[in-house]
Structure 1
Amino acid sequence: MTAIRIGTRRSALALAQSQLIVDALARLGIEAELVEVTTEGDRNQTSPLTQIGGTGVFVSALRDALLAEEIDLAVHSLKDLPSKGIEPIALAAVPGREDPRDVLVARDGLTLESLPAGARIGTGSPRRAAQLRLLAKESTHFEVADIRGNVDTRVRKVREGAYDAVVLARAGLARLGRLDEVTETFDPAAFVPAPGQGALAIECRTGDERMLAAVAPLEDRETRAAVTAERALLAELEAGCAAPVGAFAQVLPGPDNAQLSLHAIAVAPDGSASVRMSMSGSFGEAHELGRKVAAKLLADGAGRLIEERVT
């Protein structure tokens, strides 16, 4: 049997994440190899993501390679996937999730509260920027600035003094073995992660039974349920993966049946207002839970907030 070809972006983080899948398959006795694919998001490192199509620009080239049968599987950061799938491609497996929280990497070991007046915090995420600006309403000593580049580039810009801090996903730093650089980890209820953050998505061509069977043992039911609720919320809001919307679901064990809790926030890009909602539901009704929370957010004005622009 020929080795399974796994498509991945060329960044250090993407390669590390995809290697996790190669190693997991190897433990099952299945040979796999990485095939590096360059995406538009990798080629254009200067324009804000919102101007070149949001985080979905990291996905399309891998999907094109999959449909062209140049690769057999594609591995993505699940938070980068558009909230609505496409018919020829199946979300074949969602492995166990890494810690989904956001973290601060700041100079001199500082935290958000201890940053000096006028501190410059870098992020390329509209969601993180909006939540930082929301926090800045109460503590106005820092400013939010756009930043692009991989993890190494962003952390280096802090070391060089271009920024006082950056906000990153803890999962990425964990997979790169760089958790020692974290200076603060945010409470996911207060600083809400992106839908799907910390999870990986393995895609294959719809109907490819060999690939579906190969990755089936990698599926994690709890992670699938959590991200299903988060992504259903995002789809119901008709918000893209780069929208200022956070969602975090987790399984709550119960005496009879497990429950799924979902906490979500929608923030005006300038941080001037926000709406939050939390709700729990049956583990087996994750999609419906996401839709219900989205409906309540919309009733409270979330649609208007996420359509606003920073002025």
Structure 2
Amino acid sequence: MTKLGLPLGLALVIGLGLQAARAQDVNTDTIGYRAKDGDTLGLIAAEHYGDRRKAIFIMVENKITHARPLRPGERLKIPVNREITTAPGDTFETLAGTYLGNPLRGRFLAEFNGMSPEERLPAGTQLQVPFTVTHTAAANESLASIGAAYFNDSKQGDMLKRYNFLEKGAIEKGESIIVPVYNVRLQAAKMPQVDAESKARRAARRDAASKAMSALPKAWQAWRSGDYRRIETLLHGIDADYLDTAEAVDVGLMRGLAQAAEGKTELAIESFKEVRARKESHVLHKFDYSPKIVALWEQAGGQAQ
């Protein structure tokens, strides 16, 4: 172990392979810090990340290639993950294009947040965007060894291969790859304050979920009793953009059923299209619905069986 508390292999990466490394988007994924008397890189990492061994990322960002004392008042940049709140219409692909440099990295953004890449994002969802560093090889290096250095897991070499759209399992001297540091997060107390717009989106999501939870059981009861107008009243004002997929499908389907029953054909088709926009694979069972509703569902492009 080094004085920083870093594994020796990781410290060697700092001194050698990371000489040309840097964090990306420094204006948005770093926060400023001024060193105090007695501060060390390990202590600062523990304060911000909860783990002194994460000092490597502070060193990379500040181009510190070996352990050294910090001067009181010395300014440092601390690389941090970003917490974002989705807006209506956001997808993993569009967000990856904005924050990770390529829409094709949408799958990784989903996986980093424990979500399915196929899932449509409700507005108001909180996502963690990892900070990234660019690793430039000082010699020929396998992706497995780079994964072991940054994540203490050589199997992460496969993730790095896919993230960087590579066909080979190694890079040569002077070649660079981007490393998404998804396993390091800023301590909650150190996170920047949430802006007013994000707060409003989160509140709208909570409000929509609460309304749907209350209204849907009553709407299904009204459907069974033939009170179609009551369904529209119950579901009025629920913004499906802010609902989870299952809830959004139920709200859209119920709206379409009520509209179809009242002879509002075009509105019913539009509601069914909104259902399919949230979950294209949703299937109606012909046994459960009238031929009229099944026909409208199929006009909206849906499948029935």
Q: TM-score, structure 2 length as denominator?
A: 0.23
- Normalized per residue, the structure richer in helix is 2
* Larger RCO of the pair (alpha carbons < 8 Å, separation 6+): 1
| Greater C-alpha Rg | 2
- Normalized per residue, the structure richer in strand is 1
